[in-house]
Amino acid sequence: MDRQKSKIGPYVIIYPLGQGSSAEVFAAIHETLKITVAIKKIDKRFANLNREIEIMKSLDHRNITSLYEIIEDEFEIYLVMELAENGNLLTFTNGRFGHRCSDDQIKKIFGQLCEAVAYLHNILKIAHRDLKMENILFDSAMNVKLADFGFSIQCQNELFSTACGSPLYVPPEVILRKPYDFSADIWSLGVILYYMIYGNFPFLEKSIPLVMKKIVNEDPVFGPLDNKELERLLKRMLDKDPQNRPTISEILNSNYLLSMPKQPDLPHPIVLHQQALDKLKSCGMNIIDVENKIQNHDFSDPVAVAYRIVIRDIISNIKSITGNALNRLSIVKSQAHMKPKTLLLNPAIKKVESRSTIRSNAKRFCVITKPSSFTPSPI
């Protein structure tokens, strides 16, 4: 296939979103549905996607970016995904010209993010392991879309041992290469919350090794907050002892988030299903046996794929109570200006990690040790 091809399957390429060493991301439009999507093109020479694709297929939450379709040719794999149109959280906070986010804005964004993480932790038993500002995207209604599952892993009661994640967001136990659990994600959420409140990271130094040393040995500086519930929650999340951190359920049930803006109710599943079928029929698609294809998680049948795209489009276009207010803030609207990483979904579900995966992890987490000193671990 022509690597500069302007069309991939039924998708017409609109513009590039970002590029990395082994992948490119484009905005595209489904030529029949007229709905925009994101397409990640991955060079097969660098692809290790079997486990990643499986976890992507399993995700179904309004605050998590959806996978629609997988297309392959001789050289590349194309992951067709939901397009988050309004940039990422880092763009959002940095676009406020030194002004802190309001409490209502923090509560909405953080609350929706926690709902996504609760779905991962409590329902799917998945640890994200790379929660950071760049991986928190916004849709057209300024609702949160959690992305990038490149280091995610599924387990029940086991502890993890692989050092991975982004240096500014990792907890002390990961830096010290101790066994860790879902509480590592809670620390990362604490870093994100801290940034939204204070406009900076809790641990900053001139180099990443010094940042790591600070994370292990020093406490963050907590400026005074009017909201004492928020202050107490933040301090618990950034406790160096993982056993003292709250679970994601405790965070959602905290006094701080009990008053978070409610996401709009979704249509009844039967109504939503019928709306999607009506859209497909209006586009001239044959919907015979589409229910079976949907239930079987068919990611190759054109009608089943179109159904997923339409369902997610309907949900994403339901405007939230505070969405319009957030839209009025100074924020980069076009994903053409987003950092390349913001849409590079790359989940991982396999429990036994290959040596090549460990080396890849080491590059992201290069401050701990040289890649060659990593050894495979069962989790």
Distance from C-alpha of 86 to C-alpha of 331, rounded to nearest angstrom? 8
- Measured from the Cβ of residue 370, the count of other Cβ atoms closer than 10 Å reads 9
For strand 136-138 and strand 76-82, is the pairing parallel, antiparallel, or unpaired? unpaired
Cα separation of the two ends of the chain: 37
Give the residue from 124, 51, 55, 57 showing the smallest Cα distance to 299: 57
Distance of alpha carbon 192 from the chain centroid: 13
Phi, psi of 332 (to 5 degrees): -70, 120
For strand 144-146 and strand 76-82, is the pairing parallel, antiparallel, or unpaired? unpaired
For residue 41, say whether it is annotated as part of any ligand binding site. yes
Give me the DSSP letters along 324-371. HHHHTSS----GGGS-GGGG-------SS--HHHHHHHHHHTTTTS-G
Is 130 designated active site?
Answer: yes
43, 130, 139, 185: the catalytic one is: 130
Cβ-contact 240, 180 below 8 angstroms: no
| Pair of tokens at residue 244 | 């003292």
Q: Which residues are catalytic?
A: 130
The annotated binding site is made up of: 41
The annotated binding site for ATP is made up of: 41
